[in-house]
Every structure is written in C-alpha cells, then in structure tokens.
Structure 1
Amino acid sequence: MEGHEFIRELFFTLSKVKGRSPFLGVSQESPSEAGSLTVEGELESCDPLLKFSYLDSSAKTVSVRGANVYIASLYGNMEGKHFTIPAQAEFPFVAIKGSEDVVKEIKSSPISNLVRTENVNGVPYDENYKDDNILDELRISLENYFINRAGITIVDGPVYPGPYLPLVGEPYASAFERLIKERKKDSLIGIVKRLNFSRKLMRVDGLWKLGGNPTDDVVVMELGKGRTSYITPVFREELPLSDSKLERFMVYVKVRDSVFRVESQDRGLLCRGVSTALRDVSYRGIPTFIEVADRLARKLSASAFILSFSYAKSLIGVTYDDWNTFTLANLEVSN
C-alpha cells in the first residue's frame, strides 16, 4: 500500500468514532542519563569506510477526537539505494493512543498491520502511556527495521537509543530494552549531533576544571579551543540491562564551531566511523551524509503530517497546537 493511501484510510477509520470521544492530552517524559565514563586512550589512525548505509528518522503527532496519532518517517540510504517511509508503507510507522472504541476500530480495519496500538511487549498505549515514549519507540522500531537489513550502517543518533534504563520505570524500561536487543549492533556506528542537553563528560574525573555544570558541546569546544578540528580521547560507557550489560566506545569531534559524538560497540569500527565522518563534513562542521538524512527524514515527516492534518481537519477535527505544527511543517517542506 502506498503511504498516502494508508494515511487516507487511517483517518477515514478514525472518523467513524469521532462523535463518541474527546481530545486526549499529551504527557511527556523528562530525559535523564547516568553511569560512569572511563578514558580508554587516544583514538588510533585508520581508513574511512569505502561503503556504508546511513539513516535518520523523525516523528510527529496529530491529535484528533478520541486519539493521538503518532506518525514516524525514515530516510535511509542502503549503499546507494534510497529507502523512504512512509512513501513505502511496508512496516508499522503509525501508533495510536486512543479510547477503547478507537482501538477496536483500528484493530478490525484492513490497515491494522501497519498501526501499533501497544508497545513491543504487548502493553496497550492507553491514556496514561507517555507520548514522548510512544514517539521514541515508534522511531526506534523503524530504525531497527532498516539497520537489521543493512551492512555497516551509520545512524543519526546513538547506537543504544532511549533513556538511561536504570532510571526509567515500567512499562518503558523493558520496552526500550527489548528494542535495543532487537537492533543489530555489531556493524553499527552512531553520530549524535545534538549535545546541548547531554552531560556525559561531566562524569569523567578530572576532565573539566573550570567549574559549573556545562553540557558536552561546551566542554569539547573548550578542550579544543584554538583548533580547527579536535578529537577527544576514547571513552567507554556501560549500559546495564536487566540481565546483562552492553558497552560502547565513543569520541567527541570538534570541527570549527560544531561538535558531534561518534560511538560504536566496536572500537575499530568507531575509528573508521570517525575517519568517514571527517572525510565529508559540511560548512557547518557536520558530516554531509548525516545532514542529508536529517533533512530528508524531516521533509518526509512534515509531508506525512500535512497529509494527515488535511484528512483529520475535514473528517474529525484538530487542535490549536496542530494548526501551529501544520504551519511549521509547511515551512519544513518548502525549505
């Protein structure tokens, strides 16, 4: 089924129960991180990757009577082959949090195989389930679908996505843990470019001596002060799971006025990921292929939102916030 056909059918289905249901609110989860980082020495020299896949995902929410509709998008380049969702509607890219009537209507519809109404462990997306977590779970499952079919892959984001699990309650921790376990990790590199909320480096003893509690980007800019490019030592971080532990190696890279983090569970692959990133950086100091994936994923997400909003407005009704998002989505598509 084409993506636009699915979206049309989805909102026709939701319109069948609009008169019996109010709008839902939005609940959010605050991000947090903890755990220790250890210094593992300087990064080695190595060659960049000759071929690799890369991807990014994005997601938006449409609020209608009786339901919040979460729509994820993904752009991937699988060694030269373009991969776009929702243009290709072949894997669940929509989640619904709604009333019993809404969920029943969705489950009995012909599009039910492309809509998630519960998390990966079968916990329903009811009115108490946090909206931010639904969006993250949906995006991560979409990324896993691509990553598990590709060879060496660079994802725009961390290799182990989601919050720091020991600080997360249920049913969220077990859902994120399962998504992490389902992800093919031995050939994966992550590039994290949004560091203005991350404070991992403040957990490294003796690294920062100027006082305060700065974010990672500020720390790296200061460490690399006066240099056009700078690479930190390699850090190792452990992620505890319920029955085991995962580890990842990471470095921070400063290019002009930008900072990004490169990470992988394999130190050799980390080195090649850094070399690949530095081989092709944009004028903003970010790897060009990451900027391309980010821009196209956002455009796909904005286009899906615009189409969804158009159907929702005429068939069900939308909220004031969705009108604002509609305006911003049009700007994203046109830029």
Structure 2
Amino acid sequence: MTKLIVIIAITGNEGSSVANVFLNDGGWKIRGVTRDPSKPASKALAAKGIEIVKGDVDDVDSIKAAVQGASIVYGNTAFSEAFSNPAEAHVAKLSAGQTLREWCYEKELQQGKNIADAVATVDNLDLFVWSSLSAATKWSGGKYKGVFHFDSKAHVVDYINSVHPQLAKKMSILQMGLYVTNWKWGQSSVPWEKRTDGSMILRVPGNGDVPIPLVVPSDAGHFVKALTKLPAGTNLMAFGDRLTWSDYVKLWSKVTGVPATFEKTTVLEHSKLAPGGYGEEIAEMYAYSQDFGYDGGDPSIITVQQLDFDVPVTRIEQYIRNEDWSPLLLPKVA
C-alpha cells in the first residue's frame, strides 16, 4: 500500500526539497501543507502530482485536518519575518517590556506546539521528523540566552517530550547545519565586506577556530529520506562539510579567484550591522557556535557522514563553484 508523507511548509527551502526527493523516489503519496495553495510555488508542486492543502501553523485545527492518514509527517517552522523586516504592526503586538526577538521566539514556539498537538492525533503514524536546532541557552550554560531562533525550535522538542510522550517515541530530529546560502540575506547575516582594492574580508564573532557544519538547504530532502531508514529517536546533524571560517574563506578565495581574508570580531561589533536586535541575534549565534559548537556538544547527535549508507550531499567546494557570486562582488549602488 502506498504510504502518505505530509510535508508542513512545503513551499519553503526545506519543504520543497523533501517533496522533490520523495517524488523522485516513487512509491509515496505526498501531501503538502501551505497557507496559500493559490501561489505559484504551490501550483508548481501541484502540477507534479502533489496534493496541496491549506493549513496555517497558527491554526492547530487546520494542521490537524491536514496530517490525518499520514505515515510520516515532516514539520518545520520559520522564525517570523518580523525579526528581519519589522513593521509598526509587529511592534504593536509586543507586551510591556518585550523585545521583538522575544515575541518572535514565543510565536515560533507556539507554532511548533500547534504542529505537535496536531500530529499527536494521527493514528498509525510511523515517524514524525521535526526540523530543529540546538538549545543554545541550555548547552551554553546560560551564557547565550539570546539565540532565540535556535531555542524556539529546540524547546518544541522539550514540549513534545513532556506533553506528548507517545509522539516523542515516534519522533526523529533533523538539525540542518548553517545555510551556506545565508550570504544572500546581506551583510548582517554573513558579514562579507568588499575592500577598495577589490578583495573581500569576512568578519565573524567568536574565536573562529571551531569547524562549522555548512549545508545547502536543497539537500534537506535527502536527510529526511535517510531518517526514514533509521530508528525513531535519531538526532541527525546534516551538512556537506565542517569548516572553520578561516578554511571556508581560503576555499572560497581559491575557487572564485577573488582575494579574501578572515578576521575575528566581537558580538558588539556585529550587532551594529542591523538594528532592532537582528544583528545581535546573529552575532550571538556565531559566538555560541564558536564557544560551544553549532550543536552545543549535544552527545545524542549523530552526523550524516557516520551513517552506514550513502546520503547525497553537496560538498561546499561544489556549492561555491556553482554559485553566482556577482551580487556579492558588484559595487554597491548608492
């Protein structure tokens, strides 16, 4: 009998990758959940034979209806766009003394809880894959309490373990490494800077000596597929390569032919790159990853490279070689 996989947030970076891998694999019925089935990305997936249904992670009943009958559910949330692009409407929602980062944390955490509450109602579920990140506050011993976009996902795992123990037994965790594509979000995300002589410099908070797991988002589907071959309870860290920032810059320079250097900087300096707490959030993420590791040193984690079967991954040199870097290298327009 053909099994059903339900992919929440199917039009996102990870969700669309999961859809394409399972579609190409064959033998699966695929149902995608999206807030807007009428948008082009949704229609493109529907044209491939994927069932597209309307569901909003802010509405638990809509997710509950969407996941019924599933053998596998893939769940993912995104930190609110209010974080990187705040508007007056977002600020108006803040409680007294609450920062925008804290509001985004609470919102994403609730969305994750909604997904968990919905998936917990599915009979005969085989596997729930939750796209998470490490618990920065926990693993840093409270040193980095401001990496909210990590903690919001990690705390969903805590919620499932405490509130839905039966679902917890069927849950595996996918931790995607740092998106190597994040430079497209601008300097506050990946602080490349072009010098007057045409060379590039990358300044990242922290000591710069800890290898970071770097991943191409479009590989997500292969990692989810791998989790279907492993026992529930697997905590998988997925990446193409682990590189120190210094080694990444050397590799980038070698492949592109553009002279580039790496320098260490501070949380304070990086925080100045973007207002409203965005720069500070990203700065603390970099520093946490350097002080405690991107995965925080969680002993339950295994890496995709440790598996006894092959999983397709994009190596970082391959990504650099195939990427169009012109938007980064062109002079900025005033």
With structure 2 as the length reference, what TM-score do the two structures score? 0.29
Q: Which has the higher contact order (CA 8 A, sep 6+)?
A: 1
